[in-house]
Structure 1
Amino acid sequence: MKKTAKILAMAAALGIGAAGAAAAETIKVGLAAEPYPPFTSPDSTGNWQGWEIDFQKALCAEAKLDCVLTPVAWDGIIPALTSKKIDVIIGSMTITEERMKTIDFTDRYYKTPSGVIGTKGVSFEPTPEGLAGKTIGVQVSTTQEVYANTYFSGNGSTVKIYQTQDEANQDLVAGRIDAIQADLIPLEDFLKTEEGKACCEMKGVVKDDPAILGVGTGIGLRKGEDDLKAKLNAAIKAIRDNGTYAEFSKKYFSFDIYGE
């Protein structure tokens, strides 16, 4: 009994319980339920994989967080955050002034431009003039939707909204739309598929507008979560500095996705 009491006293002095070290803080990480390769997509067994899954694992290990992946429909992911169904969003969400009216963001963890792809052999520029009279597909509740409606819909173009990027891709393959606007990396990933190679080609990068397209992709948090934000910012910096970020990124990209 005395020996047991002594062990418990030592454990208390070290700040641990009889069951062992204190458990890591558990947070629910929201990501889009819709596949978004090469960032996130489920494999044949339903396990999520991709660059952003590797990023999340490295980040949570560095920050000593127990992160639970929680897929949410993209158009409901911010309400899921504000209603505390999830704790953070790690799902290629662009930092914009409009979104920051509702939620907070960490520092960016990658930044890529927005591009346009279209039918092979049909020449046009990714500009309001070049897309005049054409139908452009974009995913709902994205910065691409806002940009296309701002720059293209008033110039004789039709902007068609899709629930998922894959639905937009399939309509382009089927010839039901003329072009797609999206983040450059998923577009290039699609163009590597058999369907993409057969039907489509890159038309170029749209003119940047930071007020719409943002300043990069960050982790979404509820406002007031300053301690968690500081912990995540420190972890982003640490995995960049120690080479972990570059190590898993080279499996997916031949360039530094972090951006300029």
Structure 2
Amino acid sequence: MSRTILLAFAVILGANVSASAETVKVGVAAMAVQPFYVPDASGKFSGWEIDVMSAICEDQKLDCQVVPLAWDGLIPALTSGQIDMIMSSMSITDARKQIIDFSDKYYTTPGTIVGPKNVQEGVAPNDLKGKVIGIVVANIHQKYAQKHFTDSEIKTYKSTDEVRQDLVAGRIDATLDDRFGLEDWVSSDAGSCCEIKGNVKYDPAIYGPGIGAGIRKDDAGLKNKINTGIKDIRANGKYDEITRRYFKTSIYGD
């Protein structure tokens, strides 16, 4: 067999192997959450969570395709089959587990209050009594605020950008969100008005054990692959390599 024929055969075989990779549509909230997932002008996403997703999918030979959706539409899209998985900083909670399944956690983040630098403000419910707290709708922090900050006004938004714009403009007094995303924001020019006031008291019934990939209850095969991928990239150093590009310390948690 000639060299030309052998090369042609190799190309065809490689194409067939690539074509046989399992396609997984991954739902991501259609908004910027620095440094986890951020769309550019063309709509292409990048960030820590996107890099981790890509590493897991590469490890498991999955063809993962990002599908941007409204945050509160992610779970309905998963259960209806529009997407196959959610990787959008979604906390593993008992309430959500009644509807969907989750992979093992791939990071942990505390809930954190951010407010204006020129305002002395604590993070306990009494500290924010009568104040307006801005939160992304259907976010796990909304449930926390509704349970614990009963004497505050909870104002919901479709995206973190909208929350932060109103905080900068003084239309709300504080926001409650994931600490690592907030740390990135307050260190930027856009968030220079504000500072981290502290972490709220951990409520395991609401925050659960950490952040996981959302998967349909009947998709045990994909769940096993994602769990294996998470273990593999943590064991081979890829997870830490990605994390060092975005954070000064580990965000995996205990």
> TM class, shorter-chain normalised?
over 0.9
- CA distance in 2 between partners of 1:137 and 1:20 (Å): 50
- CA distance in 2 between partners of 1:18 and 1:113 (Å): 44
Are 1:209 and 2:211 an aligned pair?
A: no
Q: Which is greater in Rg? A: 1
Deviates more, 1:112-121 or 1:95-104: 112-121
Map 1:87-98 onto structure 2 (within 5 A).
87-98=84-95
Structure 1 regions of 5+ residues with no counterpart? 4-10
Q: 2:110 aligns with which of 113, 124, 131?
A: 113
- CA distance in 1 between partners of 2:36 and 2:15 (Å): 38
The equivalent residue for 1:195 is 190
SS of 1:218's partner is: strand
RMSD: 1.8
The equivalent residue for 1:235 is 229
CA gap of 1:34–1:18, structure 2 versus 1, over 3 A, is closer
- CA distance in 2 between partners of 1:121 and 1:18 (Å): 60
**After TM superposition, which residue ranges in structure 1, 4 or more long, deviate above 6 angstroms?**
16-19
Structure 2 regions of 5+ residues with no counterpart? 2-8
CA gap of 1:228–1:178, structure 2 versus 1, over 3 A, is same
The alpha-carbon deviation at position 185 of structure 1 amounts to 0.9
The alpha-carbon deviation at position 17 of structure 1 amounts to 7.8
1:179-212 CA-partner distances (Å, limit 9, x unpaired)? 0000001111110121311x11111000000111
Q: 1:85 aligns with which of 68, 82, 87?
A: 82
Q: 1:31 aligns with which of 12, 25, 28?
A: 28
CA gap of 1:121–1:105, structure 2 versus 1, over 3 A, is same
- CA distance in 1 between partners of 2:70 and 2:170 (Å): 27
Contact map agreement 2:108 2:252 (CA 8 A) in 1: yes
CA gap of 1:241–1:125, structure 2 versus 1, over 3 A, is same
Map 1:126-137 onto structure 2 (within 5 A).
126-137=123-134
Are 1:47 and 2:81 an aligned pair?
A: no
SS of 1:185's partner is: helix
Tell me the amino acid that sits aligned with residue 159 of structure 1.
I
Are 1:178 and 2:183 an aligned pair?
A: no
SS of 1:123's partner is: coil
SS of 1:195's partner is: coil
CA gap of 1:137–1:17, structure 2 versus 1, over 3 A, is same
TM-score (norm 1): 0.90
Tell me the amino acid that sits aligned with residue 142 of structure 1.
N
Contact map agreement 2:135 2:163 (CA 8 A) in 1: yes
The equivalent residue for 1:168 is 163
TM-score (norm 2): 0.92
- CA distance in 1 between partners of 2:155 and 2:169 (Å): 15
Counting matched residue pairs gives 245
CA gap of 1:20–1:75, structure 2 versus 1, over 3 A, is closer
The alpha-carbon deviation at position 35 of structure 1 amounts to 1.4
SS of 1:204's partner is: strand
- CA distance in 1 between partners of 2:14 and 2:233 (Å): 33
The alpha-carbon deviation at position 121 of structure 1 amounts to 2.1
Q: 2:240 aligns with which of 239, 246, 251?
A: 246
The alpha-carbon deviation at position 69 of structure 1 amounts to 0.9
The equivalent residue for 2:215 is 221
The equivalent residue for 1:6 is none
- CA distance in 1 between partners of 2:132 and 2:191 (Å): 18
CA gap of 1:190–1:17, structure 2 versus 1, over 3 A, is closer
The equivalent residue for 1:62 is 59
Contact map agreement 2:31 2:39 (CA 8 A) in 1: no
CA gap of 1:205–1:222, structure 2 versus 1, over 3 A, is same
